[in-house]
Structure 1
Amino acid sequence: MHLLVLAARHGRLLLVAGLVAGLVLQDLAQAMRAWLPAMVAGLILISAFRIGHRQAMTSLAELPRLAGAVLAFQVAVPLAVALACLALGLAGTPLAVALTLMTAAPSVAGSPNLTVMAGGPPVPALRMVIVGTAVLPLTVIPAFLVSSGLGGPADLLYVSARLTAIILAAAGVAFWLRARLLPAPEARQVQAVDGASALLMAVMVVGLMSAAGPALTQEPARFFTWLGIAFAANFGLQLLAGRVLRGRDDRTPLAIIAGNRNIALFLVALPPEITTPILLFIGCYQVPMYLTPLLMRWYYR
């Protein structure tokens, strides 16, 4: 318990340590890629366990606002990006594909944990993870129709359904365990759960950085170019969403989700000829994502 509480207090530093390990320990990062789906499911389980089913249930009054956020993030934003790339003559380039897929993706599974570390309420983030992933096969259609070089949206149906099943199963198990084992947790017990999630996220990022480490040592100019693009896309969307949502009680989780998306989902949904040119972006994208609680906490305060 004491070690987990300590991990919660230093969760932001743990994420930085995971990033560094992913860049330096390249063989370990490659070996851990196969375990990423299991770690994502474990992260969802811990997040849902922390919240509990009572807090996670969305009331009918909140459904329109939740649906509006999903449509804005996963339909309007990627469609605007795709149209902008088309107008600028960038359609089909790795930059256009990377930005379109990033904005079309649902919330990253660890967004409730990032929200907690940034000082915000995790419940809206968990709802966005579940709902955003469930409707992904429908929300990607507009951006895919406008974009070139992405194929058709039909390939995403199977993987999105599988990911949705994993999320619902993990959340269901977590809610059952929470009701049976910890119906009324104390503050220290909640801190321990936060510490467990921080440890798992620090381990998971090592596998997510498998493509970034080799690029840093072999092609540093290319690495830092994509890193700058990743920072601009992630933090830029967070700042924009935070400004638009100013005054709302769910401002922090929604703004974090605006910039932190589960783009890695498309690695198992699209053919290699589409995803290979953007593998470095996906690796670099983990850096601003995992630095969000450290660098953006001042903004959400």
Structure 2
Amino acid sequence: MTALIFIARYGKLALICGLLAGLLLPGLAQVLRWWIPELVALLLFLTAFRIGPVDALANLGELGRTALVVLVLQLALPVGFLLMLGLLGLPVTPLALALALVMAAPSVTGAANFAILLNGDPAPALRLLILGTALLPLTCIPVFALLPGFGDIGDVLAAALRLLMVILGAAALGFALRHWRVPDLPEQGRKAIDGLTMIVLAVVVIGLMSAIRPALESDPLDLLLWAGVAFALNFGLQGLSYVTLRRNGYPAAVPTSIVAGNRNFALFFVALSPEATEPLLIFLGCYQFPMYLTPTLLRRLYDPR
């Protein structure tokens, strides 16, 4: 337990080590990519166990506000972006497609863990993850209608349903175990779980970066472009959301802003052609950099003390 508490204390470094391993160990990245669903389920279980059902369900009165946030993030933003492209007469290039898919996607599973690293409340992030995934079959339909030749919407809805089942199953198991076995989790126990969670997050990112090393060797300038877009989009959405929410006195500004920039757009890959997926796989790998560097590079934004 002491080792896990030590890792939790330096969780940001653990995430950076995961990024470096994804770059330096391409063989390991190729192996781990096949285990990402199981690792994500484990991550959700640990997060639910750490938060507990009491804290997660303490503010069910916030459900309406949470749903409104989901509609803004997953519906208003991408639809507004695509309508703007149409008004300007601009085509939906791979770059524009990447931006639209990120804005239309629900939260990544690690958003609650990033909130913990930034001294924020993880429960609102977990609620946004669950509700955002549950509403995805509705919010994605107008977005797909504005994307020409996107693919079979049924594939995406099925993928969203599978993800929702994983989220609900892992969260229910974590909540149940916490409720029946450790209803009063001590602070040392929380820190130990945080350390274990950091290890899982670091392993997950290695698998998500399987396309980075080949891209670095074949076309580093193209990779640099995608990385720049990933940082600008991720940090831009987080910064804009945080400034807006804090100015309006929103109590969950930190976790909500983290979710705004960190989205699980890989869900949509099942409905894309191989030609469209190839550059987006590179973007998916690049997107891990701002995501996993959020607790390090945006600490001054969220916690300026």
TM range (shorter): over 0.9
Partners of 1:109 and 1:129 within 8 A in 2 = yes
Matches within 5 A, 1:182-221: 182-221=182-221
In 1, distance between residues paired with 2:81 and 2:42? Answer: 32
Partners of 1:15 and 1:201 within 8 A in 2 = yes
In 2, distance between residues paired with 1:10 and 1:216? Answer: 29
State the Cα distance separating 1:164 from its structure 2 match. 0.5
Per-residue CA shift, 1:198-222, capped at 9, x if unaligned? 1100011000000111111221101
Partners of 2:5 and 2:188 within 8 A in 1 = yes
In 2, distance between residues paired with 1:131 and 1:209? Answer: 27
Query: Counterpart amino acid of 1:299?
Result: L
Match of 1:267 in 2: 269
State the Cα distance separating 1:60 from its structure 2 match. 4.6
Per-residue CA shift, 1:65-98, capped at 9, x if unaligned? 1110000000001112222333444433100111
State the Cα distance separating 1:58 from its structure 2 match. 5.8
In 2, distance between residues paired with 1:59 and 1:288? Answer: 30
Match of 1:11 in 2: 11
**Range moving further from structure 2, 30-39 or 151-160:** 151-160
State the Cα distance separating 1:157 from its structure 2 match. 1.4
TM-score (norm 1): 0.96
State the Cα distance separating 1:130 from its structure 2 match. 0.6
- Residue identity over aligned pairs, in percent, reads 49
Match of 2:61 in 1: 61
Query: Counterpart amino acid of 2:254?
Result: T
Match of 2:159 in 1: 159
In 2, distance between residues paired with 1:272 and 1:165? Answer: 26
Matches within 5 A, 1:38-53: 38-53=38-53
Query: Counterpart amino acid of 1:203?
Result: V
Query: Counterpart amino acid of 1:83?
Result: L
Residue 222 (structure 2) pairs with residue 222 (structure 1): yes
Per-residue CA shift, 1:32-55, capped at 9, x if unaligned? 111001111111101100011111
In 2, distance between residues paired with 1:177 and 1:200? Answer: 19
Q: Which runs of 5+ in 2 are unaligned?
A: none
**Range moving further from structure 2, 250-259 or 268-277:** 268-277
Aligned in 2, Cα 1:22/1:90: closer, same or farther, shift over 3 Å? farther
Match of 2:24 in 1: 24
Aligned in 2, Cα 1:6/1:269: closer, same or farther, shift over 3 Å? farther
Partners of 1:106 and 1:129 within 8 A in 2 = yes
Q: Which runs of 4+ in 1 moved over 6 A?
A: none
Aligned in 2, Cα 1:82/1:19: closer, same or farther, shift over 3 Å? same
Matches within 5 A, 1:223-242: 223-242=223-242
Aligned length: 301
Per-residue CA shift, 1:236-266, capped at 9, x if unaligned? 0001000110022200000010000001222
Aligned in 2, Cα 1:58/1:100: closer, same or farther, shift over 3 Å? farther
TM-score (norm 2): 0.95
Query: Counterpart amino acid of 1:261?
Result: R
Partners of 2:124 and 2:255 within 8 A in 1 = yes
Aligned in 2, Cα 1:90/1:39: closer, same or farther, shift over 3 Å? farther
Partners of 1:155 and 1:270 within 8 A in 2 = no
Matches within 5 A, 1:58-97: 59-97=59-97
